[in-house]
C-alpha cells in the first residue's frame, strides 16, 4: 500500500527493469479491447505498425483516449488483476475546450478577456471529464501564435505573451483546483514545450529557429505561468528548436525546465515524437532516439515504442544508467499518488456522474455565456442589434442549420447535441416572425439563386452563416490561403451584386478557427460578427448577440490581416531603421508594402460594441519612477451610448531605447468593466518596475530611460498618457 511518497521508492525497488520501462509507455486507446481478447497472443496496433504483448499490456503506465467511465473501469479492473504489483493505470485525453459540453475554441474564449469565465470553463471540463475516468488532460496549450496559416492557432490564446500567461494560469486553476486528486479535478498538462506556435510558414510540425531574446521575451511566458500555477505535466513539442528536436532538447528540459524553473512534475512526449527524431535526421535509429529522449528528461513516451524496444539493452550495455529510468518512474508514480489512484484506482469512474453532469443545464448556461462574450463585432453600420419586433429573418449559408460549429479538439462533443443558428434564432424570435433558412448555396441554378435573392429583399434582415469547415483548422490543417471557401465567396459576391445598396440588410456571421482575409467583406457587408467555433450552445449565443440580448464585448487576441502575405503578423513588433508605413505618394525606401498597409485590417485588442465608450483625461500621476516604486495612470471611461456594455481597457507601454531593439508597444495590463448607458468609471493602472523589464543576455533587466504610456481600446486605438522616466536610484 502506498501511503506516502516515501513508499514510492520502496515500490520502485521491487520492480523489474521491464516493469519500470513499461510504466514509461503510454498505450493508445485504439487497442483497449485487447485487454479482453488477449488469448490470441501478441496483437498489432493501428495500421499494423506495433505489437502489444501481454507483458506490455499489463504493465503500461497510462492509456490514451478512453472517454467513457464504463470502458475505463473495465480496463482498470482487468489490468489490476494481471499487474503483479497492482500499480493503477492513468487515463489521459485531450480535453481542450470542453468534454461533452463544448465551449468556444481557445482562440475564441481568449477574446472574452475574462479570466474568471475561462477558468470556469476548465472547471466544467474537469468535472465532466473526471467522471468519465479521465485523470489528465493535455491542456492548456500555451503556444504563442503569430501566423494564421497554422491550423493550431485555434487552440492558442493568441499573439500576446501577457494574455497567454494569464489564460494558461486560469486554465490550470480550473482543471486542477488546489488538488488535482480531489473530486471532479484533473491534472493539467501544459504544451507544447517549446515555441511550437512559431513553426516556419505556419506549417504544422515544421522547423522553429529563433533567438534566446525572442524566445524568453515572448514564447516562454505562457508555459512559465502554467508552471507557477502548479501544473503537473509538460508535453514536448513536435518541432525542432534551433536545430534540436524538442523531445531531445536538453537546453529546454534539463537546463531550463528542471534546473532553472525547478519543475518536479512529469514530462510526456507528443504522439510518436520520440520515433520522429529519426525522420528529423537527429537520431540514427530508434535506439538512439530512446537514449536522447531519456537523457533529456522525457518520462513518458506516447504511442511510439522506442523506450520499450531499446531501453533494456541500452542499460545492459551501460549506454545509459538505470537511475535515469528510476527518476522517470518516480515522477510517474508520484503523479498517480497525487491523483489518489493508489488509494482508490476506481475513484474517477462515475457512470452516474456522467448522467448528472454531461450536458447539464448549468454547464450549457456557462458555455452559452462564454460563447457570447467571446464573439467579436468587426463591423456594424447600425443594422445590429436586430429589432425586438423584427418580422422576418432569412439565414443563408452552410452554417445556417449545422451543428458542425464545435471546432477541432472538441473531445466527445456531438453535432446532434449542438444548438444550431436556426434553432437559436427560433428560440428567441417572436412566434409571429418569419424565419427562412437556405443551407445550400453551392452551385445554385438561376431559379434557385433568384428565390434566395427574392427572400433576402423581402426580409428585414439576412444572416450569412459562413466560414471554414471544421476540419480546415486544428492539427495538421495548415492553409496557404486564409480566405473563405471559394464557393462561399462566389455566392456572397453574387448576392451583394444583386442587391441595391439600400436593400443590403446583410449580417455576416463567421464560423472559423483562425483569422481570415476579410477586406472585401468589410467594405461590402453592413455588419460582420466573428463567432469562431462557439461550441454546444453556439446557436443560442449568436442569437443572443444578433438580437441584442447580449451586447458584444469580445476583443481580438490575434490580428486579422489584409492579406496572408503579411504573415506572421503581430502588434508588438520591433521598430526598424526605416519605420514609415504605407502612404500613397510616400517616399519609396521605407519598411513597407507597396500594395497594402503594414498594420492589420483588424488589430489586436479590437472589437466593437452596440454602445460607445469615451476615454477621458488619462494621464500619469507622476513622470518619474525610481527602483522599488510604482507609478499610476488614471482616467475615466464614459459609456456615451444608449445601452449597457462591457469594455476592455488596455494599458500599453513603449520602451524608447535599450540594449536591444524594443517593441513598438507591449500590453502590460487590462481591465474589463461594465457600464450602464451614461455611466462613468474611474480607471487606474499601477505601473511597476517589472512591467518595464525584459530578458537580455541570460537575465531580466530594467534599464534607465523613457517609456511612453498608452491606454486605449485596441493596440491601434490608443490615448497617450505621458512619458515615464525610470531611474535606478
pLDDT at 45: 36
Write out the E strands in 42-102.
43-44, 51-52, 62-64, 90-93
pLDDT at 53: 86
Integer Cα distance of 169 and 188 in angstroms:
10
pLDDT at 40: 37
pLDDT at 36: 53
User: 613-727 maps to which CATH number?
Assistant: 2.60.40.10
Over residues 496-501, mean pLDDT: 90
| pLDDT tens-digit series, residues 434-471 | 999 999 998 899 999 999 999 999 999 999 999 999 99
3-state secondary structure of 505: coil
**pLDDT tier at 586, thresholds 50, 70, 90:** low
The domain spans of the chain are: 364-566, 613-727
**pLDDT tier at 690, thresholds 50, 70, 90:** very high
Over residues 466-485, mean pLDDT: 97
Place of cell 511518497: 5
Four-CA torsion 342, 14, 290, 41, nearest 10 degrees: -80
pLDDT at 86: 96
Integer Cα distance of 339 and 90 in angstroms:
9
pLDDT at 108: 98
pLDDT at 39: 41
List helix spans (H) across 244-393: 250, 273-280, 286-296, 306-316, 322-338, 351-357, 361-374
Across all residues in the chain, what is the average pLDDT? 95
Of the listed ranges 211-215, 296-300, 490-494, 725-729, the one predicted with least confidence: 725-729
List helix spans (H) across 83-158: 106-110, 115-131
Select the more confidently predicted residue: 2 or 89: 89
| pLDDT tens-digit series, residues 270-287 | 999 999 999 999 999 999
3-state secondary structure of 264: coil
| pLDDT tens-digit series, residues 38-49 | 443 333 334 445
Integer Cα distance of 152 and 156 in angstroms:
7
Over residues 143-158, mean pLDDT: 98
- Cell for 449? 439563386
Q: Is the model's pLDDT at 234 over the cut of 70?
A: yes
CB neighbourhood size of 689 (10 A): 16
List C-alpha distances in Å: 367 to 352, 356, 691, 725: 22, 17, 33, 45
- Cell for 704? 534607465
List C-alpha distances in Å: 170 to 129, 230, 672: 18, 11, 16
Q: Answer yes or no: are the C-beta atoms of 649 and 637 closer than 8 Å.
A: yes
**pLDDT tier at 719, thresholds 50, 70, 90:** very high
Integer Cα distance of 152 and 195 in angstroms:
13
Over residues 567-588, mean pLDDT: 79
Q: Is the model's pLDDT at 581 over the cut of 70?
A: no
Integer Cα distance of 414 and 535 in angstroms:
10
- Cell for 56? 506490455
Q: Is the model's pLDDT at 406 over the cut of 90?
A: yes
Can you spell out the DSSP letters for 303-340? Answer: S--HHHHHHHHHHHTTSS-HHHHHHHHHHHHHHHHHTT
Q: Is the model's pLDDT at 589 over the cut of 90?
A: no
Intra-chain end-to-end CA distance of the chain, in Å: 59
**What does the angle CA 573 – CA 577 – CA 582 come to, to the nearest 5 degrees?**
70
Q: Is the model's pLDDT at 60 over the cut of 90?
A: yes
| pLDDT tens-digit series, residues 624-672 | 999 989 999 999 999 999 999 999 999 999 999 999 999 999 999 999 9
CB neighbourhood size of 272 (10 A): 18
Over residues 682-710, mean pLDDT: 97
Q: Is the model's pLDDT at 527 over the cut of 90?
A: yes
Over residues 102-121, mean pLDDT: 98
pLDDT over 90, % of the chain: 91
Q: Which of 270, 272, 299, 401 is catalytic?
A: 270
List helix spans (H) across 375-408: none
pLDDT over 70, % of the chain: 96
DSSP 141: B
Over residues 346-369, mean pLDDT: 97
Span 364-566 CATH architecture? 3-Layer(aba) Sandwich (3.40)
**pLDDT tier at 530, thresholds 50, 70, 90:** very high
Integer Cα distance of 393 and 250 in angstroms:
59
List C-alpha distances in Å: 324 to 11, 250, 318, 332: 16, 14, 12, 13
Q: Is the model's pLDDT at 619 over the cut of 90?
A: yes
Over residues 698-727, mean pLDDT: 97
pLDDT at 584: 57
Alpha-carbon radius of gyration of the chain? 27
Over residues 61-67, mean pLDDT: 95
Over residues 338-365, mean pLDDT: 97
Would residue 717 show up in a list of annotated catalytic residues for this protein? Answer: no
Q: Is the model's pLDDT at 400 over the cut of 70?
A: yes
Q: Is the model's pLDDT at 677 over the cut of 70?
A: yes
Amino acid at each position: 500500500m502506498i501511503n506516502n511518497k516515501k513508499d514510492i521508492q520502496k515500490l520502485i525497488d521491487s520492480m523489474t527493469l521491464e516493469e519500470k520501462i513499461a510504466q514509461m509507455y503510454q498505450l493508445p486507446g485504439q487497442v483497449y479491447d485487447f485487454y479482453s481478447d488477449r488469448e490470441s497472443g501478441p496483437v498489432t496496433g493501428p495500421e499494423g505498425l506495433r505489437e502489444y504483448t501481454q507483458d506490455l499490456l499489463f504493465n503500461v503506465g497510462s492509456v490514451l483516449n478512453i472517454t467513457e467511465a464504463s470502458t475505463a473501469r473495465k480496463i482498470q479492473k482487468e489490468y489490476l488483476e494481471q499487474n503483479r504489483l497492482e500499480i493503477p493505470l492513468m487515463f489521459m485525453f485531450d480535453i481542450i475546450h470542453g468534454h461533452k459540453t463544448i465551449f468556444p475554441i481557445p482562440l475564441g474564449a481568449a477574446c472574452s478577456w475574462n479570466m474568471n469565465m475561462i477558468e470556469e470553463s476548465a472547471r466544467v471540463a474537469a468535472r465532466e471529464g473526471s467522471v468519465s475516468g479521465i485523470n489528465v488532460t493535455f491542456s492548456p496549450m500555451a503556444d504563442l501564435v503569430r501566423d494564421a496559416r497554422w491550423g493550431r492557432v485555434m487552440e492558442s490564446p493568441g499573439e500576446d505573451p501577457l494574455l497567454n500567461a494569464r489564460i494558461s494560469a486560469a486554465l490550470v486553476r480550473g482543471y486542477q483546483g488546489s488538488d488535482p486528486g480531489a473530486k471532479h479535478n484533473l491534472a493539467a498538462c501544459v504544451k507544447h514545450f517549446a515555441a511550437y506556435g512559431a513553426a516556419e510558414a505556419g506549417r504544422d510540425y515544421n522547423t522553429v529557429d529563433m533567438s534566446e531574446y525572442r524566445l524568453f521575451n515572448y514564447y516562454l511566458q505562457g508555459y512559465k505561468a502554467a508552471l507557477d500555477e502548479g501544473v503537473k505535466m509538460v508535453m514536448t513539442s513536435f518541432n525542432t528548436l534551433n536545430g534540436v528536436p524538442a523531445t531531445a532538447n536538453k537546453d529546454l528540459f534539463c537546463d531550463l525546465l528542471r534546473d532553472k524553473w525547478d519543475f518536479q512534475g512529469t514530462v510526456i512526449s507528443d504522439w510518436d515524437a520520440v520515433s520522429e527524431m529519426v525522420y528529423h535526421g537527429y537520431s540514427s535509429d530508434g535506439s538512439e532516439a530512446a537514449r536522447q529522449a531519456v537523457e533529456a528528461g522525457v518520462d513518458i513516451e506516447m504511442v511510439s515504442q522506442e523506450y520499450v524496444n531499446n531501453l533494456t539493452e541500452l542499460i545492459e550495455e551501460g549506454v545509459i544508467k538505470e537511475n535515469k529510468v528510476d527518476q522517470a518512474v518516480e515522477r510517474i508514480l508520484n503523479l498517480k499518488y497525487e491523483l489518489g489512484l493508489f488509494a482508490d484506482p476506481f475513484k474517477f469512474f462515475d457512470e452516474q456522474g456522467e448522467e448528472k453532469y454531461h450536458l447539464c443545464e448549468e454547464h450549457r448556461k456557462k458555455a452559452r455565456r462564454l460563447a457570447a462574450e467571446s464573439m467579436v463585432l468587426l463591423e456594424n453600420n447600425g443594422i445590429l442589434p436586430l429589432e425586438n419586433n423584427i418580422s422576418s429573418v432569412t439565414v443563408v449559408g452552410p452554417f445556417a442549420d449545422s451543428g458542425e460549429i464545435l471546432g477541432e479538439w472538441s473531445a466527445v462533443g456531438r453535432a446532434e447535441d449542438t444548438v444550431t443558428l436556426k434553432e437559436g434564432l427560433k428560440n428567441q424570435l417572436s412566434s409571429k416572425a418569419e424565419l427562412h433558412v437556405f443551407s445550400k448555396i453551392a452551385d445554385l441554378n438561376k431559379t434557385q439563386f433568384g428565390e434566395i435573392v427574392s427572400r433576402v429583399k423581402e426580409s428585414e434582415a439576412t444572416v450569412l452563416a459562413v466560414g471554414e469547415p471544421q476540419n480546415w483548422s486544428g492539427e495538421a490543417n495548415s492553409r496557404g490561403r486564409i480566405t473563405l471557401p471559394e464557393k462561399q465567396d462566389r455566392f456572397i459576391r453574387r448576392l451583394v451584386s444583386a442587391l441595391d445598396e439600400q436593400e443590403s440588410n446583410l449580417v455576416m456571421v463567421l464560423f472559423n478557427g483562425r483569422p481570415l482575409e476579410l477586406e472585401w467583406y468589410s467594405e461590402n457587408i453592413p455588419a460582420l460578427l466573428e463567432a469562431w467555433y462557439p461550441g454546444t450552445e453556439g446557436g443560442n449565443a449568436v442569437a443572443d448577440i444578433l438580437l441584442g440580448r447580449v451586447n458584444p464585448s469580445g476583443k481580438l487576441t490575434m490580428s486579422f490581416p489584409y492579406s496572408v502575405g503579411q504573415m506572421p503578423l503581430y502588434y508588438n513588433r520591433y521598430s526598424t531603421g526605416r519605420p514609415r508605413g504605407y502612404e500613397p505618394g510616400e517616399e519609396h525606401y521605407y519598411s513597407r508594402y507597396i500594395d497594402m498597409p503594414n498594420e492589420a485590417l483588424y488589430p489586436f485588442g479590437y472589437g466593437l460594441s452596440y454602445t460607445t465608450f469615451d476615454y477621458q483625461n488619462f494621464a500619469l500621476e507622476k513622470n518619474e519612477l525610481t527602483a522599488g516604486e510604482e507609478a499610476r495612470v488614471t482616467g475615466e471611461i464614459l459609456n456615451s451610448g444608449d445601452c449597457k456594455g462591457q469594455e476592455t481597457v488596455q494599458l500599453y507601454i513603449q520602451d524608447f531605447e535599450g540594449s536591444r531593439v524594443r517593441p513598438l508597444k507591449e500590453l502590460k495590463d487590462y481591465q474589463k468593466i461594465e457600464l450602464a448607458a451614461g455611466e462613468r468609471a474611474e480607471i487606474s493602472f499601477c505601473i511597476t518596475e517589472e512591467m518595464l523589464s525584459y530578458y537580455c543576455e541570460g537575465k531580466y533587466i530594467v534599464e534607465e530611460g523613457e517609456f511612453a504610456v498608452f491606454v486605449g481600446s485596441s493596440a491601434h486605438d490608443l490615448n497617450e498618457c505621458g512619458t515615464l522616466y525610470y531611474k535606478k536610484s
